[in-house]
Amino acid sequence: MSRETDLEEHRGRIRACKEELQDIDFVLRGTILKRYMACGRKGCRCMGDPPVLHGPYYNWTRKVDGKTVTVRLSEEEATILQEWIDNARKYDEVVSRMVRITLEAVEKIRS
């Protein structure tokens, strides 16, 4: 059996991964946090017992040039950006799978 025949199954799996990548739209790095906070003003509801915190507030945190940057978002923006962050995770998952398939192919041609 030729090496090409041996690798055909691996090529099919790579093609399937490429099809998954075509479905991915915007890709974004970072984390979206939903937070409730106390303001610290005496007599405010957030200082009560039990406290009723302010919020929710949405923050997008990411690294820029090695430093953590945080941006406040609206709820609508947070929803959109979370989808793009999920896309980045899916992208990473598919590319990792492609690397594993390729390593399997390396073993196949070396055996």
pLDDT digits (tens, 9 = 90+) for 35-78: 999 998 999 999 998 999 999 999 999 999 999 999 999 999 99
Reply yes or no on whether the pLDDT at 2 is more than 90. Answer: no
- Nearest residue to 30 via CA among 65, 74, 76, 64: 64
Residue 78 host element (H or E): helix 75-110
Reply yes or no on whether the pLDDT at 95 is more than 80. Answer: yes
* 83: Cα separation from own chain's centroid: 8
Per-residue model confidence (pLDDT) at position 5: 73
Ordered by start, the domain boundaries in the chain are 3-110
Give residue 3's pLDDT band: very low, low, confident or very high (50, 70, 90).
Answer: low
Predicted TM-score (pTM) of this structure: 0.83
- Nearest residue to 38 via CA among 27, 48, 28, 26: 48
